[in-house]
């Protein structure tokens, strides 16, 4: 249970929305307007909801070859991304899948085979 205390109803509604976003499940195929929070050699980390970040891999940034992520994205940029996969708390994102000529590569959640084989 979460208790929200504030001086106005409007602030209480905003706080409730933030809390709900923090605990909700992310599903493959969902589209978000995120914010680039970190650039790394292999892509960028994008915050899609408060406290929820996913990896936008370099191969998912554009339809053409991306040599340098910084040529396409900067920290603080707003970017529309699609969730490809959620696995073990890690979120894989694609910008390319939303562009014309991009393919739909969202993947259904795969079973965790380790859980299946570790039943004793």
pLDDT in tens, 43-81: 999 999 988 999 999 999 999 999 999 999 999 999 999
Q: What pLDDT, on a 0 to 100 scale, did the predictor assign at position 72? A: 96
Domain ranges of the chain: 27-108
Residue 77: strand, helix, or coil? coil
- Counted residue by residue, the chain has a size of 120
Pairing label, strands 52-57, 90-94: parallel
What kind and span of H or E run contains 47?
A: strand 43-49
Tell me, what DSSP letter sits at residue 50?
T
Q: What pLDDT, on a 0 to 100 scale, did the predictor assign at position 101? A: 63
Q: What pLDDT, on a 0 to 100 scale, did the predictor assign at position 23? A: 79
- CATH classification of 27-108 is 3.40.50.20, yes or no? no
How big is the chain by its Cα radius of gyration, in Å? 17
């Amino acid at each position: 249970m979460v208790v929200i205390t504030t001086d106005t109803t409007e602030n209480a509604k905003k706080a409730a929305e933030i809390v709900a976003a923090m605990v909700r499940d992310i599903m493959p195929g969902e589209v978000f307007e995120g914010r680039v929070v970190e650039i790394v050699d292999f892509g960028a980390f994008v915050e899609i909801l408060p406290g929820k970040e996913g990896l936008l891999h370099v191969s998912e940034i554009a339809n053409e070859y991306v040599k340098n992520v910084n040529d396409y994205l900067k920290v603080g940029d707003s970017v529309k991304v699609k969730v490809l996969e959620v696995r073990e708390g890690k979120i894989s994102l694609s910008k390319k899948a939303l562009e014309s000529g991009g393919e739909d590569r969202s993947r259904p959640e795969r079973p965790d085979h380790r859980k299946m084989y570790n039943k004793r």
